[in-house]
Amino acid sequence: MELLSTFVFAFCMILLVSFPHGSIDPSMAGLAVTYGLNLNARLSRWILSFCKLENKIISIERIYQYSQIPSEAPSIIENLRPPSSWPENGTIELVDLKVRYGENLPVVLHGVSCAFPGGMKIGIVGRTGSGKSTLIQALFRLIEPAGGRIIIDNIDISTIGLHDLRSRLSIIPQDPTLFEGTIRGNLDPLEEHSDHDIWEALEKSQLGDIVRDKDLKLDTPVLENGDNWSVGQRQLVSLGRALLKQARILVLDEATASVDTATDNLIQKIIRTEFKNCTVCTIAHRIPTVIDSDLVLVLSDGRVAEFDTPQRLLEDKSSMFLKLVTEYSSRSSGIPEF
């Protein structure tokens, strides 16, 4: 830009000199030279202003795009609220469920149909991209189905408010979220439980001694994202939340994929003991995690490939589940042979 300004200024000087003597008023020529000396700074300011304007236009475009995003369903639908005891059994029925992430995007789940009996432990496995996490997102209505239904204890979840649905389910995600605050605030953010209940949940999740050794006990500070707690401890805090909530349906979305084997075994032991009467849906990264499940759902390319007890699937030599177990065993050490 400076080079361009120099060329323009030089051209103007040559043009002034080339005019016949007396054809241009000297005062006007001096004014032109004065403005020419400031040409570089003026052009720089113009370009800077143009760039700022362009950035602000991008912000307007983003605001417009956000305004076009469809709103979520209502939190509460007064005339369609489920009973306070719902769900009582925790039965989940998937009826010809189809899910896509956008109107013009391909279908991710292709007519998934199966039923999870209440109080049973369900393992959900499959290769990457098979639709495991999409199924869980549909269960929490983070994505609205493109077709089909999800029925929990005889209630179609698409007919009730999001708050009434999500407040009755519990989930332990792969990457647990801790908020800046205290242990009490992270376990009971809505302040619905007594300190006795919180301590009981901490004891069951094997965090009681750790928190008790802290000077501030339940008021022990938690940094943003739980940076002052280990990954395993953050996962146990998420487990403590689920214990406090006491929902009839618990979802584990590869909850132990980021923790060591000892923590994995500890979490599985707590779940088997404390959630024995709940419906537990486990998306498994470590295949042995679902070996002791009551039923195993195997997804492949968004379709139900297999759905049976793990024992029967392991006895079937052509079973996809058996192939997944064999592949995992070959990659890992210390995995029992099947």
- Along the chain (338 residues), what's the average pLDDT of each consecutive run of 10 residues? 70 75 73 72 81 88 88 91 94 96 90 95 92 94 94 96 95 88 92 93 92 91 89 89 93 78 83 92 85 94 95 93 89 55
On whether both 11 and 153 belong to a single domain, the answer is no
- Report if residue 210 sits inside a domain: no
CATH number, domain of 148, equals 3.40.50.300
CA distance to 171, 233, 256, per residue, from 260 (Å): 20, 11, 8
Please report which helix (H) or strand (E) contains residue 269, including its range: helix 261-274
- Report if residue 188 sits inside a domain: no
On whether both 9 and 116 belong to a single domain, the answer is no
- Report if residue 216 sits inside a domain: no
What's the CA gap between 206 and 208, in Å, rounded?
Answer: 6
Per-residue pLDDT, 122: 96
- Report if residue 207 sits inside a domain: no
On whether both 10 and 145 belong to a single domain, the answer is no
Q: What is the DSSP string of 27-68?
A: HHHHHHHHHHHTHHHHHHHHHHHHHHHHHHHHHHHHHHHHHT
Residue written as token pair 């570089």: 40
Residue written as token pair 């589940």: 321
Per-residue pLDDT, 1: 62
On whether both 50 and 123 belong to a single domain, the answer is no
Residue written as token pair 């369609």: 80
Range of the domain at 54: 2-16+32-67
On whether both 137 and 6 belong to a single domain, the answer is no
On whether both 241 and 111 belong to a single domain, the answer is yes
On whether both 166 and 116 belong to a single domain, the answer is yes
With 0-12 CB in 10 A as exposed, 13-18 as middle and 19+ as buried, what is 87? buried
On whether both 167 and 245 belong to a single domain, the answer is yes
On whether both 6 and 148 belong to a single domain, the answer is no
Pair of tokens at residue 135: 């199924």
Residue written as token pair 């991710």: 108
The number of folded domains in the chain is 2
Per-residue pLDDT, 121: 95
On whether both 280 and 237 belong to a single domain, the answer is yes
Contact of 253 with 174, CB cutoff 8 Å: yes
Length of the chain: 338
Give strand pairing partners of 296. Answer: 123, 308
- Report if residue 221 sits inside a domain: no
Pair of tokens at residue 20: 């016949």
- Report if residue 195 sits inside a domain: no
Question: What is the DSSP secondary structure assignment for residue 96, as one 8-state letter?
Answer: E
Contact of 99 with 108, CB cutoff 8 Å: yes
On whether both 116 and 44 belong to a single domain, the answer is no
Strands (E), 48-146: 92-100, 107-116, 121-126
On whether both 326 and 251 belong to a single domain, the answer is yes
Per-residue pLDDT, 338: 44
- Report if residue 189 sits inside a domain: no
> Which of 91, 132, 93 is closest to 115 using CA atoms?
93
